[in-house]
């Protein structure tokens, strides 16, 4: 249909626009951080500095390829956007098949991408908070002995990258906390629901909605209320506590070490269980969660089914690994 094709074109172009803006925003962040260090040119970043970003997991490769015009800064910024903004071509086949059910539409894809983006925001933010140049490595030794950079330049770079991580997680926490709360309050005002009515209704709701932000759809003020649970459209809560833990550890020590980051990532995995209670029995959800959990977890299978088939690779980001454990 020509009309639908026109709408799809407008949507695709607007989606591309926001992704381009996202890349430019990330490029500005990283470029400012690197440019603060004397002796570093953002248009000609030394290979040793690139290696420190690769070691920190902030970039997956050192070059975009011999024929590519992308700079290292462009490549790192694009990777950040791919991890933290919706990319519907990365959605698994199971969720894509659910989208074809008329009653569900694209809600499953939207929720699945929200979960992947949220987990990756946490993961990338922790990598930035934990950014540290290994002075015992060959790259670290060369940077340390460079008269234009030296130890002072290394410490300035570390502080700047950690500042990006702190800003990323703080912004995420503010949005993920404020928006659902604002939507709940707006629905209460629109339906004339008092706080006493809301508290009484939530006390009668199933246990799996504890801590969820609910929107009031209808209230007849005679004891009958209808709700929509925001957590299944914008599922932020499973990662907000890990985000707070990461920021607290950073504020206390000035850096997030690897063991703390691993514990926090495991907490994000554990937070998934609350989303499955209304949908699945243990055989439906618990089995998929066990498959997705890392092998160092007591019940995890390290990304493999009981038959040994892989559901994620070690190179996959945290968001992809978590999304593969969803019964969606």
Q: State pLDDT tens for residues 161-204.
A: 999 999 999 999 888 888 888 888 999 999 999 999 988 888 88
In whole angstroms, give the CA distance from residue 90 to residue 76: 19
Distance of CA 297 to the CA centre of its chain: 21
Q: Is residue 228 part of a domain?
A: no
- Whether the pLDDT of residue 325 is over 60: the answer is no
Q: Is residue 47 part of a domain?
A: yes
- Whether the pLDDT of residue 160 is over 80: the answer is yes
- Whether the pLDDT of residue 13 is over 60: the answer is no
92 vs 315, more confident: 315
Q: State pLDDT tens for residues 15-46.
A: 678 888 999 999 999 999 999 998 888 889 99
- Whether the pLDDT of residue 123 is over 70: the answer is yes
**Percent of the chain, pLDDT > 70?**
71
Q: What is the pLDDT, as a whole number, of residue 176?
A: 83
Lowest mean pLDDT among 52-56, 206-210, 282-286, 292-296: 282-286
In whole angstroms, give the CA distance from residue 149 to residue 154: 7
Q: What is the pLDDT, as a whole number, of residue 164?
A: 96
Secondary structure of the chain in the HEC alphabet? CHHHHHHHHHHHHHHHHHHHHHHHHHHHHHHHHHHCCCCCCCCCCCHHHHHHHHHHCCCCCCCCCCCCCCCHHHHHHHHHHHHHCCCHHHCCHHHHHHHCCCCCCCHHHHHHHHHHHHHHHHHHHHHHHCCCCCCCCHHHHHHHHCCCCHHHHHHHHHHHHHHHHHHHHHHHHHHHHHHHHHHHHHHHHHHCCCHHHHHHHHHHCCHHHCCCCEEEEEECCCCCEEEEEHHHCCCCHHHHHHHHHHHHHHHHHCCCCHHHHHHHHHHHHHCCHHHHCCCCCHHHHHHHHHHHCCCCCCCCCCCECCCCCECCCCCCCHHHHHHCCCCC
Q: Which of 4-13, 235-244, 275-284 has the highest mean pLDDT?
A: 235-244
Q: Is residue 215 part of a domain?
A: no
Tokens 């006390």: give the residue. 203
Average pLDDT value for residue range 50-79 = 90
Let me know the angle formed at the C-alpha of 21 by 18 and 22, rounded to the nearest 5 degrees.
Answer: 85
Indicate the pTM of the whole model.
0.72
Q: Is residue 176 part of a domain?
A: yes
Number of domains in the chain: 1
Q: What is the pLDDT, as a whole number, of residue 280?
A: 45
- Whether the pLDDT of residue 278 is over 80: the answer is no
What domain range includes position 160?
12-180+236-323
243 vs 52, more confident: 52
Q: Which of 47-51, 81-85, 273-277 has the highest mean pLDDT?
A: 47-51
In whole angstroms, give the CA distance from residue 137 to residue 135: 6
- Whether the pLDDT of residue 274 is over 50: the answer is yes
End-to-end CA distance of the chain: 30
Q: Is residue 224 part of a domain?
A: no
Q: Is residue 252 part of a domain?
A: yes
- Whether the pLDDT of residue 328 is over 50: the answer is no
Q: What is the pLDDT, as a whole number, of residue 49?
A: 95
Q: State pLDDT tens for residues 237-258.
A: 678 878 888 888 888 888 888 8
26 vs 282, more confident: 26
Q: Is residue 50 part of a domain?
A: yes
Q: Is residue 87 part of a domain?
A: yes
213 vs 166, more confident: 166
């Amino acid at each position: 249909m020509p009309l639908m094709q026109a709408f799809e074109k407008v949507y695709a172009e607007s989606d591309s626009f926001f992704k381009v803006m996202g890349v430019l925003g990330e490029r500005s962040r990283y470029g400012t951080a690197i440019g603060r260090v004397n002796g570093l040119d953002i248009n000609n970043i030394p290979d040793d500095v690139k290696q420190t970003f690769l070691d920190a997991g902030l970039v997956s490769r050192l070059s975009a390829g011999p024929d590519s015009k992308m700079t290292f800064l462009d490549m790192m910024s694009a990777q950040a956007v791919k991890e933290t903004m919706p990319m519907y071509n990365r959605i698994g086949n199971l969720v894509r098949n659910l989208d074809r059910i008329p009653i569900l539409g694209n809600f499953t894809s939207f929720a699945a991408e929200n979960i992947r983006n949220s987990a990756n925001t946490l993961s990338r933010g922790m990598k930035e908070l934990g950014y540290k140049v290994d002075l015992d490595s060959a790259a670290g030794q060369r940077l340390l002995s460079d008269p234009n950079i030296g130890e002072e330049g290394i410490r300035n770079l570390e502080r700047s990258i950690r500042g990006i991580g702190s800003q990323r997680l703080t912004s995420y926490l503010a949005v993920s906390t404020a928006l659902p709360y604002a939507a709940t309050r707006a629905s209460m005002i629109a339906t004339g629901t008092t706080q006493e009515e809301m508290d009484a209704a939530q006390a009668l709701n199933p246990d799996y909605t504890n801590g969820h932000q609910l929107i009031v759809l209808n209230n007849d003020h005679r004891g009958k209320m209808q709700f929509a649970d925001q957590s299944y459209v914008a599922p932020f809560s499973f990662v907000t506590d890990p985000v707070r833990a990461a920021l607290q550890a950073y504020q206390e020590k000035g850096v997030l070490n690897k063991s703390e980051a691993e514990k926090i990532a495991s907490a994000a995995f554990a937070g998934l269980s609350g989303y499955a209670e209304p949908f699945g029995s243990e055989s439906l959800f618990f089995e998929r969660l066990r498959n997705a959990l890392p092998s160092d977890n007591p019940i995890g299978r390290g990304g493999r089914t009981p038959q040994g088939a892989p559901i994620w690779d070690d190179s996959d980001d945290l968001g992809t690994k978590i999304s593969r454990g969803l019964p969606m």
